[in-house]
Amino acid sequence: MSVRGKIDLVQLTDPGKVREHNEDAVGSDLDTGLVVVADGMGGYNAGEVASEMAVRTIREMVKARLTHEKRNEIDKESGLMRQSIVLRDAVARANKVIYQTSQSRTDCEGMGTTVVAALFYDNKVSVAHVGDSRVYRQRSEELSQVTLDHSLLQELVSRGFYSEEEAQRSMNKNYVTRALGVESAVDVEIHEYPVEVGDVFLLCSDGLTDMMEDDDIHLTISTFSANLDIVGQQLVKLANDNGGRDNISVLLTRVLKPFSAPKTFLEKVMGLFG
């Protein structure tokens, strides 16, 4: 469903201070409620190819599926909303396209990308991710990390080998355990969350989170929350000021108004007897 006028959107990507090329990609489609960040890898220009391919494939498939499927219902097998199934399938399709390209083109051999995507609909958001690009949500002055990295470090934290504080200081943050294009199939993690007016969602690549601690991200959003453009610019600036060792991508959304799905004729009729 279209969320134009209901959600404020800012997206920025920057090469950083060290890398010659920007292998991140960001994309959005407010007519379907989709936002995406991808962080490519593979050397030369292959990472850039993978990330752009991921964003394009997800955007095109979500648009095509949601255009032809108007129902707003729960999938009985998975318990997920139909929109979540569409998003999950789109990410899985992107994995297949990237993998097949890497197998058929020598200049793209070994390429891959992380991805995080959010789909807003009916006062909800579905979040799909593969790798260590993240989603944060700021609500009522509280910042929470919505996604957990698919990384070796996160596995060690989850198993109790590292504390969160030790993980922040670790130099081994970038060993991902899942990525698009590495294998013919991928396990896409997906969850659904209710959305409230005033919520700010931040999608970002690890070029931001490796250079900034969560407390600093929270302070930046809180300080400049009246203007999302300034929030985005400040986040990129601070990541660069702290070293800018990787490409930096941030995509920010703020919920301005409710965006409940329009009721079907049957739902309207049933409501008369509710």
Q: Which domain holds residue 56?
A: 7-145+178-272
Q: How many CB atoms lie within 10 A of CB 235?
A: 26
Using the predicted structure, report yes or no on whether residue 262 has a pLDDT greater than 50.
yes
32-46, 199-213, 240-254, range with the lowest pLDDT: 32-46
Q: How confident is the model at residue 166 (pLDDT cuts 50, 70, 90)?
A: low
- What's the count of helices (H) and strands (E) in the chain, helices before strands? 8, 10
The mean pLDDT of the chain is: 91
Residue at 82 is within a domain: yes
Using the predicted structure, report yes or no on whether residue 40 has a pLDDT greater than 50.
yes
Model confidence pLDDT, tens digit, residues 211-228: 999 999 999 999 999 999
Distance CA 70, CA 1 (A): 9
- The CATH number of whichever domain residue 204 belongs to comes to 3.60.40.10
Using the predicted structure, report yes or no on whether residue 264 has a pLDDT greater than 80.
no
Cα–chain center distance at 116: 3
Residue at 2 is within a domain: no
What order of strands is seen across the sheet that includes strand 189-194? Answer: 24-29, 34-41, 112-121, 124-130, 189-194
Residue at 200 is within a domain: yes
Residue at 64 is within a domain: yes
Residue at 171 is within a domain: no
Residue at 47 is within a domain: yes
* Contacts of 142 by beta carbon, 8 Å cutoff, 6+ apart: none
63-72, 86-95, 129-138, 167-176, range with the lowest pLDDT: 167-176
Cα–chain center distance at 127: 7
* Contacts of 167 by beta carbon, 8 Å cutoff, 6+ apart: 153, 154, 156, 157, 173
Using the predicted structure, report yes or no on whether residue 127 has a pLDDT greater than 90.
yes
Q: Which residue from 40, 17, 267, 4 is spatially nearest to 132, judged by alpha carbons?
A: 40
pLDDT, position 158: 73
Distance CA 182, CA 189 (A): 16
Q: How many domains does the chain have?
A: 1
Q: Which residue from 28, 26, 27, 32 is spatially nearest to 3, judged by alpha carbons?
A: 32
Mean pLDDT in residue range 141-170: 78
Q: Which residue from 235, 220, 133, 227 is spatially nearest to 176, judged by alpha carbons?
A: 133
Q: Which two tokens stand for residue 147?
A: 């996604």
Model confidence pLDDT, tens digit, residues 62-91: 999 998 766 678 887 788 999 999 999 999
Residue at 151 is within a domain: no
Distance CA 229, CA 137 (A): 17
Mean pLDDT in residue range 256-273: 67
Distance CA 216, CA 245 (A): 17
pLDDT, position 95: 98
Using the predicted structure, report yes or no on whether residue 265 has a pLDDT greater than 50.
no
Residue at 99 is within a domain: yes
